[in-house]
Structure 1
Amino acid sequence: MSNCEAAIIGAGPYGLAATAHLRSAGLQTWTFGQCMEFWQNQMPAGMLLRSPWDASHIADPHHALTLDEYEKARSIRLSRPVPLNDFIEYGRWFQRQVVPDLDTRRVQQIQRTSTGFRLMITGGETIEAQRVVIAAGIGPFARRPSLFSATPQSLASHSSDHRDLSCFRGRRVIVVGGGQSAIESAALLHETGADVELVLRRPSVRWLRRSALFHSRYNPFRRILYHRTDVGPAVLSQLVSRPDWLRRLPLGVQQKAAIRSIRPAGAAWLVPRVQAVRITTGRHVINAQPTGDQISVTLDDGSMRWVDHVLLGTGYRVDVSRYAFLSHDIAESLSQVDGYPELDRGFQSSIPGLYFVGAPAAWSFGPLMRFVSGTEFAGRVLAKAAAGNRGARLSAEKLQWARVAKSQSGW
């Protein structure tokens, strides 16, 4: 039976960053997952990252694998904002430097043992791990309003169900939601030839336009108002970027900071792309009735639409019990708050040796954990906690992945 000191479940930004930091700290790791799988399969083609350049790096402990280093390694210049496909390729390049031995098999189940954990792998292999880091992302957490729970997916689907929105060309589509995902989906649908209406509860679309002046590199107060992680409004961004400070504040203050930082909003560069899209504000869906190959949608003002599809840009609701690979024993024993695991200051859950990073860590560490820019804090703190007092020195082999980005192309 194979074994390792730390198993990482997931190979997206948080899983890759966790692996980079844990290996740098001297731990023997085993990382599972398809690299950038969620980004590749559950985000729409043509999408652009809302986060600015400095907030889009996947973190490594030596800052050797940034987007800037990726550009140098490949002798290219990426667009700003970063296109989805380019970010996926950047993540794969990062993976080849940090974890060329990535195990792409799926973890079927994680069980507790007297010495740690047992991982049941697709194909029948069993692996023992002293520690397990869950970096499995938000794929299972898509939020579908109960109103659409019985509606066939052919008539109502979540935005994460689609990679290619061109399948809606020539069809009538209502997009529900007022955040980046909903607004950008509406833009992409319109651009692909669909007849689109965007419906949101707020009295108006919230655009991230006013911050452009404050974010300008010519503004001498930019770094005072906004931390480079770029989560949250002016000034509050500085607090959100320091989760170890934020978690010491009263819970009510933490919750207000989180709500203020992740309110539904659209990037300013989407404004011209939705000018031709019908936008209905201050309304929400109260009834949806499938009829044949169409669906009738009734809003709270009594108005009705007959459309071919409803696309739900309604975000995600964390509930770690929906991770199918967690054994019943682990899921039942895990201390949770509204679906989020309760974590100590080292990202460890109530089950010793079991860690969570990414969006599931947001209840304990704030909204930064929902964004790629949170990989730096999470990786650094996780490695320190998981490695304990080992104080391991890096060998030449363990340093190689950190140097390679500066010495060769990586291709």
Structure 2
Amino acid sequence: MQPTTPAMAKETDVLIIGAGPFGICLAAHVQQLGLDYVMVGKPMEFWEQNMPKGMYLRSACDWHLDVSGEHTIEHFLAGQNLTPADVEPLFLEFYLSYVQWFLDQKQLHNLPLYVHQLDQEADGSFTAQMEDGTLIRAQSVVIAVGFKYLVNVPDDLLAVLPAGHFAHTCDFVDLEQMRGKSCLILGGRQSAFEWSALLAEADAKSIHLVYRHDTPAFAEADWSWVNKIVDAMGDDPAWYRNLSEAEKKEVSYRLWAEGRLKLEPWLKDRVSGENVNLWPNTLMTASTVQPDGRISVQLDSGEQMVVDQIILATGYKAAVARVPFLQNGNVLPLLAVEDGFPVLDESFQTNLSGLYITSLLAGRDFGPFFGFTVSVRSSAKLIGRGLVGKG
């Protein structure tokens, strides 16, 4: 990338890369702080394009986007003469309607383009080259890209999957195409059962869930303790990083147990039909694509089956090096990284002054809560504090 000058680029205080819940919440807070910002990306695009219609969320109405506490989900409901009891558990479509209302109320603006390349300049500022060649020069950059680039396909599965004949859940959301067809889902946690329920309702002929653990219990998850911890981190950002390793493991396990050892009760009846088959404590050991394009699958139980589609419900994994616009610029080689996570200070700032990273990629220093929208307000509050201090 050629050196740029302010005359060649749009100037802003803060460039926010990502227009999902973390980016939108931050944009509203930055605007309230009086800083100029540019938010790039298409609002809630991942939620709209990579989650299936009719999906329920595990979050409740208290996981709203407003640091100031004004434009909450409850406020949104009040305008429709509704209460949380009327809408929980939340539908994906309902949450999207709340976010659009939030954008309108806050009068937030965005540039609906992707960043192609991000560079730090000699003076410490940053230049982002957009996909259309537009340049944005910013004193500070916040990366809030969410899950888009962090799809997890475990190596042991990759070794036995038929190349080109499988898809991650986030890339397989048009479930109507499976009407009358058979499907294998690898994974046995919430998303696997959620996709199974929706596939069953789309009249898939058969759905097989194969997973290496016991079937989780159908029991309502308790997130109330998470809210208290995350809200408090807005005033005590070092809380998680100051825990001992044993304490971190305890906190992480408690969150994992709520999210992974439980399945929401509203799924139970929806996956109880004859076309849903559970294979707990089982592994797929081989697969072969047949001449007709269907897939023959071998399980370690000795069972064999033929399916039309394999779906991976294998979640996401932090790997900052997989973010494309970082690969294209000069930032990644300079970035301090541990176990795939960027090393962050108490305001989410990396070792590069003025560069902040949040959402799932903040999990190493702020805890596993930051893979959930419960954390958007504390994230925005702390990043805002860092931005104001830097200015």
TM-score bracket for the superposition, by shorter chain length: 0.7 to 0.9
Q: 1:275 aligns with which of 272, 277, 295?
A: 272
Q: Secondary structure at the match of 1:352?
A: coil
Which is worse superposed, 74-83 or 165-174? 74-83
> CA, structure 1 residues 310+21, in 2 after alignment: closer, same or farther (shift >3 Å)?
same
Say if 2:269 is the partner of 1:258. no
Whole-Å separation in 2 of the counterparts to 1:304 and 1:240: 52
Count of residue pairs the alignment pairs up: 370
Correspondence for 2:47: 39
Indicate how the Cα distance of structure 1 residues 332 and 255 shifts in structure 2: closer, same or farther if over 3 A, else same.
Answer: farther
Instruction: Flag the 1:160–1:14 CA change in 2: closer, same or farther, 3 A.
Output: same
8 Å Cα contact 2:234-2:379 kept in structure 1: no
Q: Where in structure 2 are the equivalents of 1:196-211 lying within 5 Å?
A: 196-209=207-220
Q: Give the Å deviation of 1:122.
A: 2.5
* 2:77 alignment counterpart: 71
Under a length normalisation based on structure 2, what TM-score does the superposition of the two structures give? 0.88
> Mean alpha-carbon deviation: is it higher for 29-38 or for 290-299?
290-299
* Residue-by-residue CA offset, 1:139-176 (whole Å, 9 max, x unaligned): 111112333376344x3111000232111111111111
Q: Residues 251, 330 of structure 1: CA spacing in aligned structure 2 closer, same or farther, 3 A cutoff?
A: farther
The aligned counterpart of 2:308 is 308
Residue by residue, what CA displacement relative to the aligned partner does 1:56-79 show, whole Å, maximum 9, x if unpaired? 312x23211111122234556662
Give per-residue Cα distances to partners, 1:197-232, cap 9 Å, x unaligned.
1111112223334x5xxx6xxxxxxxxx93362899
Q: 1:25 offset after TM fit, Å?
A: 1.8
Check if 1:226 corresponds to 2:224: yes
Q: Distance in 2 between matches of 1:22 and 1:141?
A: 26
Classify the secondary structure of the residue corresponding to 1:248: coil
C-alpha distance in 1 between matches for 2:82 and 2:61: 15
Q: How large is the RMSD of aligned CA atoms in angstroms?
A: 2.5
Choose from 57, 61, 66 the match for 2:64: 57
Shift of 1:99: 4.7
Match of residue 161 from structure 1 = 171
**Take 1:145 and 1:168, find their aligned partners in 2: how far apart are those partners?**
25
Q: Match for 1:26 among 28, 34, 46?
A: 34
SS in structure 2 of the partner of residue 279 of structure 1 = strand
Q: Tell me, what secondary structure is at the counterpart of 2:325?
A: coil
Alignment-mate amino acid for residue 260 of structure 1: R
Aligned to 1:325: 325
Distance between the aligned counterparts of 2:52 and 2:236, measured in 1?
Answer: 31
2: CA distance, partners of 1:251 / 1:120 = 40
Judged with a 3 Å threshold, the aligned counterparts in structure 2 of structure 1 residues 239 and 24 are, in CA distance, closer, same or farther, namely closer
Residue 139 of structure 2: which of 121, 124, 130 is its match?
A: 130
The answer for the alignment partner of 2:6 in structure 1 is none
Task: Give 5+ residue unaligned stretches, structure 2.
Answer: 1-8
- Is 1:184 aligned with 2:180? no
| Contact kept? 2:343, 2:351, Cα under 8 Å | yes
- 1:44-99 CA distance string (max 9 Å, x none): 11101112222x312x2321111112223455666211110111121122122335
1: distance between equivalents of 2:226 and 2:71? 17
Q: What letter is aligned with 2:185?
A: V
Partner of 2:5: none
The Cα of 1:35 is off from its aligned counterpart by: 0.4
For normalisation by structure 1, the TM-score amounts to 0.84
Question: Secondary structure at the residue paired with 1:329?
Answer: coil
Look up the SS of the partner of 1:48 in the other structure: coil
State, as a whole percentage, how many aligned pairs show the same letter: 30
Verify the 8 A CA contact 1:176 1:198 in the aligned structure 2.
yes
Question: Taking CA–CA contacts closer than 8 Å with sequence separation of 6 or more, which of the two structures ends up with the larger relative contact order?
Answer: 1
* Residue pair 1:298, 1:304 contacting (<8 A) in 2 also: yes
